[in-house]
Structure 1
Amino acid sequence: MPHPIKLSYPDKKIISVAWEDVPSNEVGAFYTIKDKFGLAASVQVFGDFEGSTVTLKVSNDGVHWMPLRDLAGDPIELTEGALAEFSSSALYIRPVRTGGASASVSVVMVLRG
């Protein structure tokens, strides 16, 4: 079962999507990006990585997943606490955590529309 998401709406033009305490080798539940909210967005990853990597993946069909790329065109694959900005018109997005042993890595994405 995918790791659940927690949604909050700090403003009518901002959506915050959080996957808290993602276990090692876990796939987060996908979030459906609505309207134009993926055009200006960021993702922040923090916690105790212990050798793990968090990759953001996107899909238009929910079956075939590709790496999400940052504004410089590089895949968002984080191995330590960091914040990356991106723009995407994909329909679905989710984090994937591989490696490591700690259960205390969290992913928070902010979408502006």
Structure 2
Amino acid sequence: MDAAPSTSSRVQFRRRNVASRARWVEEAGAGEVVESKGKLWLTTGVTRGSKLCYNVEEIGFLVEKGALILLNDKDEMIGIEAIYEKIAVGKYGCSWDAFQAYKHLKSLGYIVG
């Protein structure tokens, strides 16, 4: 009897009404939080001026978890594929390999700075 490979995942999907929202700011290469829900801000994000911002790797991780909705300047949702493209080009201080490492450490419960 062959056992099917295990596909365990720690990804948790959340309802849209409990997800935080951030707006992508191209000049900063980051997402500026416009609505924060839950306690994500305790272990993610950086404060720039008086605004809480998420780096591109944090955005990718949080969107995958369903904990964040990223918006463009017209308040339209930016999909995960477009976020992956932002990560993959390496223009915003994070490469694809660094994102994979970040995601792995966060899924293990580490606070990554």
Task: Say whether the fold is shared (TM-score over 0.5).
Answer: no
When you count helix as a share of all residues, which structure comes out higher? 2
Structure showing greater radius of gyration is 2
Instruction: Report the TM range for the smaller structure's normalisation.
Output: under 0.3
When you count strand as a share of all residues, which structure comes out higher? 1
Relative contact order: is structure 1 or structure 2 higher (C-alpha 8 Å, sep ≥ 6)?
A: 1
So what's the TM-score if we normalise by structure 1?
0.24
